[in-house]
Structure 1
Amino acid sequence: MRDENCIFCKIIAGEIPSNTIYEDDDFKVILDVSPASKGHALILPKNHVADIFTIDEDVAAKAMKLAKKLATHMKEVLHCDGFNILQNNGEVAGQTVFHFHMHLIPRYKNAKNDDMILWNHLEFTPEELAEIRDELK
């Protein structure tokens, strides 16, 4: 399955060049053209699916297994000090290409771009947390 207007589908099909670091029947992994760090890569499922809400559970599981395998390999080869594995869903969450993908971002101590991915922490009362918990059960 492919979306003719999707840049990642075009990369997977070889219509747009990429720096591929891994490929199998289900995934293509490329270096990000606008990286957050040395080695920043993207795991792209070969079949077009927009996000976590629509991806097949087996494909999602394979993507996480591949992320572990590649992160381990990249840490050994690139000698990074830490790792972010990031996956955005929806525009409000920072998704800019609506083809499911996972970011593999090696992190290095004292690097030029060593800031972590952070967010402002909210505070909830114990009662509010209990209400949220009950809604989610």
Structure 2
Amino acid sequence: MPTIFERLYSGELPCARVYADEHVFAFMDAGQLNDGHVIVASIRPYETLMDADEETAAALMRAARRIAIAVEREFSADGVTVLQANRAAGWQTVPHLHLHVLPRRAGDAVTLGWPRRDPPFETLQALAARIRV
């Protein structure tokens, strides 16, 4: 069964498209946390960033950058949050690779936070050794 983003891309469902290339497309989020909130999604139905090929992952960020520049300019944003989530535990709500470009305003009440733990430097070195690529 196609994902909602596949249905949007194919035209089965309407979307206010702002960008498309051979790997990704972007459209206004129907939820609009702030005016100018855009979703950039892969055309192929990869579930997560880790499933995507490198070309698609790079295209996702290239498009996000271009859109963030336009959003910041056109909506006079104080800043821009780019959010990409993977799997339910990582806050992903749609099982199709995408990211949000969200224009921000000081005091806009949009929140995102986590508790900081501040491990010792030696712990950071050990963690880095486990994933060094």
Normalising by structure 2, what TM-score? Answer: 0.90
Deviations 1:36-65 (A, max 9, x none): 211111001111111111101011111111
Match of 1:103 among 75, 84, 100: 100
Greater alpha carbon shift after TM alignment, 61-70 vs 124-133: 124-133
Structure 2: which 5+ residue stretches go unaligned? none
Counterpart-to-counterpart distance in 1, 2:12 and 2:70: 28
Q: Deviations over 1:9-52 (max 9, x none)?
A: 11111111112122233322111111221111100111111111
Percent identity, aligned pairs only? 25
Corresponding residue number in structure 1 for 2:61: 64
1:49 to 2:46 alignment: yes
**Residue of structure 2 aligned with 1:131, choices 108, 111, 126:** 126
Q: What's the CA shift for 1:116?
A: 4.0
Give TM-score scaled by structure 1 length.
0.87
Alpha-carbon offset, residue 76 of structure 1? 1.1
Q: Aligned AA for 2:51?
A: T
Q: What is the SS of the residue equivalent to 1:99?
A: coil
Residue type of the partner of 2:89?
V
Equivalent in the alignment of 2:33? 36
CA distance in 1, matches of 2:2, 2:58: 26
CA deviation digits over 1:86-119, x for unaligned, max 9? Answer: 10011100001111001000001233x3x34221
Cα distance in 2 between the residues matched to 1:47 and 1:126: 40
Residue 120 in structure 1 maps to residue 115 in structure 2: yes
Does the alignment pair 1:93 with 2:93?
A: no
CA RMSD, 1 decimal? 1.5
Whole-angstrom CA distance in 2 between matches of 1:123 and 1:73? 36
Distance 2:44 2:121 in 1: 43
Q: How many residues align?
A: 132
Q: Which secondary structure does the structure 1 equivalent of 2:106 belong to?
A: coil
**Alignment partner of 1:5 out of 2, 8, 18:** 2
Q: Contact (CA 8 Å) 2:38, 2:102: kept in 1 or not? A: yes
